[in-house]
Amino acid sequence: MMHIAKKRIILCGMGTVGKAFARLLDERRGQVAKKYGLDIEIAAAVDVGGAAVADHGALPLDELLVHVDAGGTVETFSPHGRPGVSGVEAISSIPAEVMVETTPTNLVDGEPARGHIFAALNNGLDVVSANKGPLVLFHREILELAKDKGCRIFMSAATAAALPTLDVGVICLAGANVLAVEGILNGTTNYILTRMHLEKCSYETGLKAAQEMGIAETDPTLDVEGLDTRNKIVVIANRIFDRHFGLDDVAVEGITRVTPADIDKAVEAGKVIKLVGSAELNDGDVTISVGPTVLETEHPLAAVNYAEKSISYLTDTMGRVTVTGGKSSPTGAAAALLKDLIHTVMLAA
């Protein structure tokens, strides 16, 4: 009979991704226990106004989701609601093994996720994060504290949601030396460039189409200026190359200045333009950049179209390894969080 390991988690953030994760866990808890020998209990769910806490066992996720979907808040979820309890307070006082971080990304000071992650590590909890903010701004400090406390950081959901960027680079390429990483890490920009390439439209027309489909935000700056891709490639490069790069270490150019003439010129040369985030190792130094890149049609990223994403690793012993796809949605991010939780057992040190 398979041994069942129990993991009590504290979920910080009950927004779109947090709810998607709770819903997925509610649906898959029995399956995960049967297949992987892991029983996951949410001991507490924390949001802006407070927390819902299970004094014993697990929170009833089905009931909590009905309550939240109807407009309720975690702190008003009777009898588990605890108004005013912060994430840091919950992490510091509720017995658990893992903290799952899904609050909105803040690239100014990393809060509240920064406080959650540091509190979790200081209390001996592993961290599973969909939040890029602290991982970009405080990478060195987080890794040093995790090492000091004997804890682990899992961050798949922070690097292109369901696309297994880090799993491939860290697990599948173990033993190989990664020479370069190239990725189409933002679905919005890839959708716009694909429309410009295949339909000969302008950037403005492609953007409008993306907004009408709900692929692009009303304010698309984070995507189209290359900032989202920058954030992701920094996290990936730091993990793959064991460095501590920050946002200022990346040369960034978005797609707003790409014209139909640029697209036509590339097509005439038998090439294609994609927004690529890259990290390349040369003589011990790693260079990171984000920008529109003219690719040969034989390049594996050249055929990645519309809102799809992809990452390609060039190695010394395994050659080039490329993965494409991965659902870009709250469900995709939730699936990456669940995968990382399973890996806390499968990849136990």
The one catalytic residue in 232, 271, 274, 309 is: 232
* Secondary structure tally for the chain: helices H, strands E: 13, 13
Segment holding 75, helix H or strand E = none
Q: Look up 309 and say whether it is catalytic.
A: no
Cα 239 to chain centroid distance, Å, stands at 13
299: which DSSP letter?
S
Q: What's the CA gap between 205 and 161, in Å, rounded? A: 27
Closest Cα to residue 258, out of 217, 213, 201? 201
Q: At what angle do helices 61-69 and 16-36 cross, to 10 degrees?
A: 160
Q: What's the CA gap between 169 and 16, in Å, rounded? A: 28
Segment holding 12, helix H or strand E = strand 5-12
74: which DSSP letter?
G
Closest Cα to residue 336, out of 144, 131, 71? 131
- 157 in Cβ contact with 266 (< 8 Å): no
Closest Cα to residue 115, out of 210, 46, 15? 46
List, by residue number, the catalytic residues: 232
